[in-house]
């Protein structure tokens, strides 16, 4: 009685051959050959109902048949699949923590069974004949070879670059106008590939990479104290690590001087009253810097310098800029 083939598993494989194929059926006693189309395959009879065979090289769709002492079996279809070829990864780099999605483009990608980043398996989330999407596994900061495996075999490799996360250690200056626009130098590590800088929820402009450890950016408008973060393909710097805090300041205001006049010889103490004076870093009488102390956000005490009889303008400077001038009168 001729053997009968009921199923084969898998029913497709690479054109180069070499796939292990299990043939199920009956009447497998005295088997003399297994053929994929007209091409004989090496085989082992496991039992009267099962054979394992190694597919020979081939192409297209063929019938697998078994020949035994009782005759030739029916044929069951087996399809040769061209090996996948990948041409691009988008993006081609990402954080060491993984979890981002990469789109792999190429040909012969249908039926993808595995995506590997070196030896690390990725999770396949989408698949067509020309594209595979996968969730990247975590890995150290180093290049990894990405391959796609289908019933046609493993693809060529393409490099994917794991990028370490950026970190901020220092800002300078750490304060500025609520209207923004000033240039801030950001120091840290892994900053070369910076794509964005945020001051709280505000997006900085004018980003310039000086080195892997330093960038500059123009502060956006804002208020209060905020955390500055840097984003690269390696991720976003962690808030709270390093001195990454920036404070928005209102422009200083001087509303009165007490006294508002004094001797030409100078040396008298003058109390400046106003607002946003906490961060005063300079007081000038007619352009002359004087010694001073910021008592509170509303008061600064300064020592008037000597001057010619007449009026001069008193100005307070903070990281937010200069106050409007207020007159001080030197007496003869």
Q: What is the pLDDT of residues 96-139, one digit of tens each?
A: 999 999 999 999 999 999 999 999 999 999 999 999 999 999 99
Residue 332 confidence class, pLDDT cut points 50, 70, 90: confident
CB hemisphere CA count around 241 (13 angstroms) = 12
Report pLDDT for 255.
98
Report pLDDT for 291.
97
Residue entry with tokens 């030896």: 119
Question: Bridge partners of 294?
Answer: 300
The pLDDT of residue 263 is above 80: yes
Closest Cα to residue 305, out of 271, 330, 280?
330
The pLDDT of residue 241 is above 80: no
85-163: CATH, from 2.60.40.10, 3.90.1150.10, 3.40.50.450, 3.40.640.10:
2.60.40.10
CA quadruple 212, 216, 220, 226: dihedral sign: positive
User: Which is it for strands 310-318 and 321-322: parallel, antiparallel or unpaired?
Assistant: antiparallel
Report pLDDT for 242.
76
C-alpha distances (whole Å) from 255 to each of 242, 284, 289, 316 are 38, 15, 19, 11
Q: What is the mean pLDDT of the chain?
A: 96
Q: List pLDDT tens digits, range 149-173.
A: 999 999 999 999 999 999 999 999 9
What dotted CATH number matches 4-80?
2.60.40.10
Residue entry with tokens 């012969």: 108
Whole-number CA gyration radius for the chain? 38
The pLDDT of residue 244 is above 90: yes
> At the top level of CATH, which class does the domain 167-249 belong to?
mainly beta
What is the distance between the alpha carbons of residues 197 and 220, in angstroms, rounded to a whole number?
Answer: 10
Residue 219 confidence class, pLDDT cut points 50, 70, 90: very high
The pLDDT of residue 325 is above 80: yes
Numbered ranges of CATH 2.60.40.10 in the chain: 4-80, 85-163, 167-249, 253-331
Q: List pLDDT tens digits, range 18-73.
A: 999 999 999 999 999 999 999 999 999 999 999 999 999 999 999 999 999 999 99
What is the distance between the alpha carbons of residues 131 and 7, in angstroms, rounded to a whole number?
Answer: 30
Residue entry with tokens 């001080």: 328
Q: List pLDDT tens digits, range 292-319.
A: 999 999 999 999 999 999 999 999 999 8
Report pLDDT for 282.
98
What is the distance between the alpha carbons of residues 288 and 305, in angstroms, rounded to a whole number?
Answer: 8
What dotted CATH number matches 253-331?
2.60.40.10
Report pLDDT for 320.
87
Neighbouring residues of 64: CB distance < 8 A, sequence distance ≥ 6 = 5, 8, 21, 23, 34, 35, 36, 53, 75, 76, 77, 78
């Amino acid at each position: 009685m001729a053997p009968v083939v009921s199923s084969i598993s898998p029913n497709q494989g690479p054109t180069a051959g070499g796939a292990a194929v299990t043939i199920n059926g009956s009447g497998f006693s005295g088997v003399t050959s297994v053929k994929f189309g007209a091409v004989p395959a090496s085989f082992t009879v496991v039992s009267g109902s099962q054979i394992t065979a190694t597919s020979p090289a081939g192409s297209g769709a063929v019938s697998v048949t078994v020949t035994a002492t009782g005759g030739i079996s029916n044929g069951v279809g087996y399809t040769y699949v061209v090996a996948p070829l990948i041409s691009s990864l988008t993006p081609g780099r990402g954080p060491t923590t993984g979890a981002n999605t990469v789109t792999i483009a190429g040909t012969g990608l249908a039926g993808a069974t595995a995506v590997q980043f070196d030896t690390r398996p990725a999770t396949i989330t989408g698949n067509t004949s020309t594209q595979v999407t996968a969730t990247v596994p975590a890995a150290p900061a180093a290049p990894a070879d990405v391959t796609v495996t289908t019933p046609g075999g493993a693809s060529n490799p393409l490099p994917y670059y794991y990028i370490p996360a950026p970190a901020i250690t220092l800002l300078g200056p750490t304060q500025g106008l609520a209207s923004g626009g000033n240039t801030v130098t950001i120091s840290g590590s892994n900053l070369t590939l910076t794509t964005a800088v945020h001051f709280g929820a505000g997006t900085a402009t004018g980003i310039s990479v000086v080195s892997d450890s330093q960038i500059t950016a123009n502060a956006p408008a804002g208020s209060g104290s905020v955390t500055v973060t840097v984003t690269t393909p390696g991720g976003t710097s962690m808030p709270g690590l390093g001195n990454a805090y920036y404070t928005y300041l209102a422009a200083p205001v001087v509303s009165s001087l007490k006294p508002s006049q004094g001797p030409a010889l100078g040396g008298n103490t003058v109390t400046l009253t106003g607002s946003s004076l906490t961060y005063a870093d300079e007081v000038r009488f007619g352009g002359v810097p004087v010694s001073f102390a910021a008592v509170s956000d509303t008061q600064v005490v300064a020592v008037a310098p000597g001057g010619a009889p007449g009026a001069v303008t008193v100005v307070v400077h903070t990281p937010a800029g200069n106050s409007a001038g207020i007159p001080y009168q030197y007496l003869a």
